[in-house]
Structure 1
Amino acid sequence: MSGRSAARGPSAAAADGFEVLFVCTGNLHRSPVAERLLAAALPRGGFRVRSAGTAARPMPLDPLTATILDELGGDAEGFAALRLDAGQIEQADLVLGLERCHREAAVRLHPLALRRCFTLREFIRLAKGTRADTPHEAVRLAASRRGTLIPPADETDGIDDPVGASAKVHRARALEVHDAVRTLAGILAP
């Protein structure tokens, strides 16, 4: 996929699809689950879904996460963690952090992407109820609603990291991501 310019709009996106980038810390749990579940939920051909981590090191997917992902209908095959960089953010049409610190890290790396960077739950909250005909329009409408709705407490806008927690907590976090991704898919491809 070619790099995006600051002025890129829906007509340019039609040529190469709509790209979603999920961001978490290690790119081993939350963002890979979101990436693979959204890829499975969206129509083929019109979307590209990727993920990265703000502190990721090249590693395979966590085995427990891979098992949970398979149970939820995602494909864990071939996944390797990637570190977030400005180029990934520049290419993405929508950047979704799993917590506010991830959204903020993306904006620091590429400030021009501010209007395309949200937390996963923030984007859903802002885009829900809008009447967008395209994913680009959903992003534009969600960005335009910032500041018009009272933001929730920080803990309700993010999905906590399950690192170091029990298998039960890993599953609970993956289910939170799963539920949010199902709603997101309905917004991006109604």
Structure 2
Amino acid sequence: MSRILVVCTGNICRSPLIERVLQGALDQAYGPGAVEVSSAGTMGMVDSPMDERSAAILTEMGGDPAGFAARRLTEALLRDTELVVTATREHRAAVVRMHPKALRTAFTVRELGHLADQMDPAALPTEPGERLRAVAAQGVALRGTNALLDPADLDVADPYRRSDETYALMRSQLEPTLESILGVLVPR
């Protein structure tokens, strides 16, 4: 099975939303079980359900928060993962410190979205695992092309215990980004 791991801080707001959106689209494209999308937090609030406001946004986006339980990031979760998607540059750094080989597979979600916009989806393999590995490899090769981006444009706002406006900002950052990422992860 091919794997994607999504990482944020508490694993209750950003990463489960990203996880569930990606999982739904990949299940629809490849069938359930072809790609496993999971998530974890660098300071995961173990066994907590998804944050209510993030869950409401996920539901509006067509996802289902039911049955979600937060967990903490471990090195074992990073092994045998084709792609690691993080909420911020700080999370990406934590992933690479924990598992240095992840340098070739870890991207912030917005970084990957920018890089995906530069990829040719038609040139990618159609088998899910090969496609994930190709997206990661092309992402690494294209990484230097993001040099003109403001580093803050690579992070997703953390809405936890913040205003409704911060949740709206998170959503506005994620929706186009996830569309770009799914544009390369899902064959058309």
TM-score range, shorter-chain basis? 0.7 to 0.9
Question: Once structures 1 and 2 are overlaid, which stretch shifts more, 174-183 or 24-33?
Answer: 174-183
Where 1:49 maps in the other structure, the secondary structure is strand
Aligned residue number for residue 71 of structure 2: 82
**TM-score w.r.t. length of structure 2:** 0.86
Question: Once structures 1 and 2 are overlaid, which stretch shifts more, 137-146 or 96-105?
Answer: 137-146
Structure 2 residue 25 is the aligned partner of structure 1 residue 28:
no
Closer, same or farther: CA 158–38 of 1 in aligned 2, 3 Å: same
For structure 1, which runs of at least 5 residues remain unmatched after alignment? 1-15
Identify the structure with the greater helix proportion: 2
Aligned residue number for residue 111 of structure 2: 122
Letter in 2 for 1:48: E
In structure 2, distance between residues paired with 1:177 and 1:52: 18
**How far has the Cα of 1:168 moved from its partner?**
3.1
Structure 2 residue 83 is the aligned partner of structure 1 residue 99:
no
Percent identity over paired residues: 36
Structure 2 residue 27 is the aligned partner of structure 1 residue 39:
no
In structure 1, distance between residues paired with 2:142 and 2:176: 23
In structure 2, distance between residues paired with 1:26 and 1:151: 30
Where 2:38 maps in the other structure, the secondary structure is strand
Letter in 1 for 2:136: V
For structure 2, which runs of at least 5 residues remain unmatched after alignment? 126-130
In structure 1, distance between residues paired with 2:178 and 2:145: 24
Aligned residue number for residue 136 of structure 1: 133
Aligned residue number for residue 9 of structure 1: none
Whether the 8 Å CA contact 1:30–1:174 is kept in 2: the answer is no
Whether the 8 Å CA contact 1:27–1:51 is kept in 2: the answer is yes
Q: Following TM superposition, where does structure 1 have runs of at least 4 consecutive aligned residues deviating by more than 6 angstroms? A: none
Task: Count the aligned residue pairs.
Answer: 174
Aligned residue number for residue 161 of structure 1: 158
Task: Give the aligned CA root-mean-square deviation in angstroms.
Answer: 1.6
Whether the 8 Å CA contact 1:37–1:178 is kept in 2: the answer is no
Closer, same or farther: CA 137–79 of 1 in aligned 2, 3 Å: same
**How far has the Cα of 1:135 moved from its partner?**
2.4
Letter in 2 for 1:67: A
